[in-house]
Amino acid sequence: MVEETLVKRVSTVLSQSFYMIVEEIKSIYKTKTFVVFAVLMFLPVQLILVSYATSQYPQLLFEVEKAFFLNGILEEGVIDAFSDAFASAMGILIIRRGFIQASLGATTYYINIPIIAIVTLLTCGLVAAEREKGTLPVYVSKPVYRTQLVLTKFAAFALVSFALTALAYSTVYFTYALTLLGPLGMLFTGLPETISMLLVLIFFTWIFILDIGAITSLFSSIIDRSILAGVTSLIILLLLSILPNMLVIFAGVGIASFTKYFNIPDLINQLIDFYSLGFVEYYQNMWLIIKQTGFFSQIIISRMIDPGTALIIVILLIVIPLISACLITEKREVK
Amino acid sequence: MNAVAIRGLRKVFGRFVALHEVNLEVPEGVCFGFLGPNGSGKTTTIKIILGLLEPDGGEVYVFGRKAGSYEVRRRIGYLPERIEYHNHVLCVDFLKYVGILNHMKPSKAERTARDILVWVGLEGWEDQPIGTLSAGMKQRLGLAQALMGDPDLIILDEPTSNLDPIGRKEILDKVKELASEGKTIFFSSHILSEVETVSDYVGIIFHGRTIKQGRLHDIKRELIRRKAEKYELVVDKTSEVLSILTEKGVEAHVEGDRIIMFASNPGFLERLIPKVLVDADAQLMRFTPVGDTLQEVFLQLVSEVSLEEGESG
């Protein structure tokens, strides 16, 4: 046997990994779980159409139309009105004329339990299912690194979920534009204000999905049964997103200064608000909210985290579980 | 060079000693039958050869390199004892993925996959989901994946378990065909008759110890020598024949309706018995050496080991 050079080995591993990702993607979209994931991701589109049909937001429509007719098509006010209406519909924290607009919107749905549950279900088999099925011994007895198996599977999941998130949000975005403003509203869809908002939403929702996926992958590499890995991960993720708020209510506001670092949905929501509104508007809004909410402002303040730290945490929550999953899979015996 | 060389292998799971001491040498180009009853440590040994489990003692070399190393894994094909598949994956896609794991380009992997599927007799099933295959077909698919990447050493862990006789024969025929092509095959089984039909080399493992290994031919010869020591005789006049035999100095006793005899040298009883029958005017019903199948000798070997263990323990 001739020893291959390091360069040759690296190029082999890279091209092999690329082919593995392609095959993995082809395999993912045939699974039932993926179909459910896709349905859940596109569910808001249906909901918008339903709520439009039943006129759930005449107020917003009124605001936009008023601005539209008063100011003419390319006036600043129309753009602001649409951008506000869109932000509000997406669940971004906005304030208009000194009042908090309802921040129940698309993010309320996406950064929430249904997506946590389905992503957990989608990734719980990453390593565990291969162990369960007995295909892992076959794979790892081939000239491939176990880290490669974990990372290519995760990469395939990441790519597929990015495509799905981008597609779902874009559809939601255009559906909103259409239902809020009619065919004329489509003229506003390309504006930098709303497009940047859309990109921020897609990016952080994707990061949220990757967080869930990476944490579940870690459990998948520790626990041999995929369902058990999924349930464990789901329980821990739900506790992480519910417990901090409950603790604040029962154990006092002080505890939130510690627990806020682990509340993934809250971190993501804050990041979305910050990056879609920008520094000035975000803190202006926060200040107004704190001023208006009285007692509850304490809770809001205690849960606030600076966006830089939040960004580092949500990125680390992908990287650390993933590296751990690789190391564990490398070290664990395949029985 | 030996394809596989194992010296003093030991493996412990918690407090359970799975392998006490395994020594094996598998020459290149032979079909090696790895025999042992269930739970004797066959699968554990195989998993250590593949690098799936870490040994707790001893040395394992495959093609002169440490077992489980990257270079070694290029040259091994493996069919596990128990494998289920992702049912939604197409046969050809599964093999293609295994091919990619073996450093093949996707286009070449797919071509090879289709060829191998035809060879194992799954023609027409290439583009079907694995879930639609029968148990026998799945096992053939397993054999097919073990052949992806043209490995020099093919390790088959109980490839015929859970198969009906027809499925068994199909797999064994394919293994024979591979063996005739000069591949090194490491074939584990607890069914001796199967090993006899395909293997030229065997190793016998029991309670985590290799108790015998070598050419099947040599082992058989040894067994024939052993079995020549013990005979059984069935006649109509048992007591009369027995008394004549004891008179002639033959060590014999009755077990049920049979007379069990021990010969001091080979061929002695074969010449004596006809005379005894004439003397006793008895009718011969059966006269055979005891332990004429590999199975019985295997059981004998195993019982000897158990006795030794019992004494030492």
Give the global pTM.
0.84
Instruction: Report yes or no: B67 and B48 within 8 Å, Cβ to Cβ.
Output: yes
CA distance A182 to chain B (A): 43
* B85 neighbourhood in chain A, CB within 8 Å: 133, 135
Q: Establish if A104 belongs to a structural domain.
A: no
Instruction: Report yes or no: B263 and B269 within 8 Å, Cβ to Cβ.
Output: yes
ipTM exceeding cut-off 0.90 for this assembly? no
* B97 neighbourhood in chain A, CB within 8 Å: 20, 23, 27
- For residue B59, what are the contacts with CB-CB under 8 A and spacing of at least 6? B5, B6, B7, B8, B9
Sign of CA dihedral A224, A227, A233, A239: negative
| Alpha-carbon span B310 to B313, nearest angstrom | 5
Confidence of residue A200 (pLDDT cuts 50, 70, 90): very high
Q: Is B240 helix (H, G, I), strand (E, B) or coil?
A: helix
| Alpha-carbon span A124 to B53, nearest angstrom | 24
The two counts, helices (H) then strands (E), for chain A are 16, 2
Domain that holds residue A215: 20-38+117-175+187-331
Q: Establish if A217 belongs to a structural domain.
A: yes
Helical H segments across A182-278, by residue range: 192-222, 226-251, 256-259, 264-277
Q: Which of residues 24-83 of A touch B (CB under 8 A)?
A: 26-27, 30-31
State the pLDDT at residue A61. Answer: 61
With CA atoms as reference, report the closest residue to A22 among B86, B125, B100, B128: B100
- The end-to-end CA distance of chain B, in Å, is 38
With CA atoms as reference, report the closest residue to B76 among B50, B39, B101: B50
* A129 neighbourhood in chain B, CB within 8 Å: 86
Sign of CA dihedral A170, A174, A175, A176: positive
pLDDT in tens, A281-335: 888 888 888 887 777 777 777 778 889 999 999 999 999 999 999 999 999 988 8
- Indicate the helix (H) or strand (E) that contains B230: strand B230-235
Tell me which DSSP letter residue A225 carries: S
Chain A interface disruption, residue of B11, B76, B97, most A CBs within 10 A? B97
**Per the structure block, which two tokens stand in for A187?**
């003229």
What 3 state SS string does B21-48 have? Answer: EEEEEEECCCEEEEECCCCCCHHHHHHH
CA distance A326 to chain B (A): 16
CA distance B102 to chain A (A): 6
Smallest Cβ distance to B76: which of A20, A27, A141?
A: A141
B1-75+152-227, CATH topology level:
Rossmann fold (3.40.50)
Instruction: Report yes or no: B235 and B277 within 8 Å, Cβ to Cβ.
Output: yes
Chain B interface disruption, residue of A11, A138, A226, most B CBs within 10 A? A138
Tell me which DSSP letter residue B190 carries: S
Tell me which DSSP letter residue A223 carries: -
B106 contacts A137? CB cut-off 8 A: no
CA distance A231 to chain B (A): 21
| Alpha-carbon span B213 to B26, nearest angstrom | 10
Interstrand relation of B16-27 and B76-79 (parallel, antiparallel or unpaired): unpaired
Sign of CA dihedral B15, B16, B22, B28: negative
Pick from A73-87, A89-103, A106-120, B249-263 the range whose average pLDDT is largest: A106-120
Q: Determine the residue of chain B that is closest to A13 in CA distance.
A: B103
Confidence of residue A99 (pLDDT cuts 50, 70, 90): low
**Per the structure block, which two tokens stand in for B190?**
């607890």
Average pLDDT score over chain A: 84
Q: Which of residues 119-148 of B touch A (CB under 8 A)?
A: 145
Q: Which of residues 76-95 of A touch B (CB under 8 A)?
A: none
B51 contacts A142? CB cut-off 8 A: no
State the pLDDT at residue B313. Answer: 41
CA distance A137 to chain B (A): 7
B56 CB within 8 Å of a chain A CB: no
Instruction: Report yes or no: B45 and B6 within 8 Å, Cβ to Cβ.
Output: yes
Q: Is A283 helix (H, G, I), strand (E, B) or coil?
A: helix
pLDDT in tens, A149-188: 999 999 999 999 999 999 998 888 888 777 766 666 666 6
Chain A interface disruption, residue of B28, B61, B101, B158, most A CBs within 10 A? B101
Segments of chain B scoring below 50 in pLDDT: 313
Greater pLDDT, A194 or A128: A128
Q: Is the pLDDT of residue A205 over 50?
A: yes
Instruction: Report yes or no: A218 and A126 within 8 Å, Cβ to Cβ.
Output: no
- For residue A307, what are the contacts with CB-CB under 8 A and spacing of at least 6? A270, A271, A274, A275
- The residues that bridge with A96 in the sheet, in sequence order, are A99
Q: How many domains does chain A have?
A: 1
How many residues are listed for chain A in this entry? 335
Smallest Cβ distance to A16: which of B63, B100, B149?
A: B100
CA distance A9 to chain B (A): 11
State the pLDDT at residue B286. Answer: 86
Q: Is the pLDDT of residue A101 over 80?
A: no
Chain B interface disruption, residue of A5, A30, A142, A148, most B CBs within 10 A? A142
Helical H segments across chain B, by residue range: 42-49, 70-73, 91-101, 106-119, 135-147, 165-180, 192-198, 216-227, 238-247, 268-280, 294-312
A26 contacts B93? CB cut-off 8 A: yes
Q: Is the pLDDT of residue A55 over 60?
A: no
Count of CB atoms situated within 10 Å of the CB of A333: 11
B70 contacts A19? CB cut-off 8 A: no
B103 contacts A143? CB cut-off 8 A: yes
| Alpha-carbon span A45 to A43, nearest angstrom | 5
CA distance B199 to chain A (A): 24
**Per the structure block, which two tokens stand in for A68?**
């539209």
Interstrand relation of B65-66 and B57-62 (parallel, antiparallel or unpaired): antiparallel
Greater pLDDT, B280 or A48: B280
State the pLDDT at residue B308. Answer: 63
Burial class (CB in 10 A: 0-12, 13-18, 19+), B186: buried
CATH number of the structural domain B228-313: 3.30.70.100
* A16 neighbourhood in chain B, CB within 8 Å: 100-101, 103
A334 contacts B78? CB cut-off 8 A: no
Helical H segments across B120-183, by residue range: 135-147, 165-180
Greater pLDDT, B95 or A246: B95
CA dihedral B201, B202, B203, B205 (to 10 degrees): 170
**Rg, chain B, Cα only:** 24
Smallest Cβ distance to B101: which of A132, A137, A142?
A: A142
Instruction: Report yes or no: B231 and B269 within 8 Å, Cβ to Cβ.
Output: yes
Q: Is the pLDDT of residue A71 over 80?
A: no
- The residues that bridge with B17 in the sheet, in sequence order, are B12
Specify the range with the lowest mean pLDDT, choosing from A89-98, A108-117, B39-48, B66-75.
A89-98
CA distance A319 to chain B (A): 25
| Alpha-carbon span B225 to B233, nearest angstrom | 18
Q: Is the pLDDT of residue A112 over 70?
A: yes
- For residue A121, what are the contacts with CB-CB under 8 A and spacing of at least 6? A33, A36, A230
A129 CB within 8 Å of a chain B CB: yes
State the pLDDT at residue B287. Answer: 85
Cβ contacts below 8 Å, chain A against chain B, sum to 89
Count of CB atoms situated within 10 Å of the CB of A328: 16
| Alpha-carbon span A38 to A107, nearest angstrom | 16
Backbone angles phi, psi at B20, to 5 degrees: -85, -60
Q: Which of residues 91-120 of B touch A (CB under 8 A)?
A: 93, 96-98, 100-103, 105-106
**Per the structure block, which two tokens stand in for B234?**
């069935």
Smallest Cβ distance to B80: which of A30, A129, A134?
A: A134
Count of CB atoms situated within 10 Å of the CB of A296: 12
* A127 neighbourhood in chain B, CB within 8 Å: none
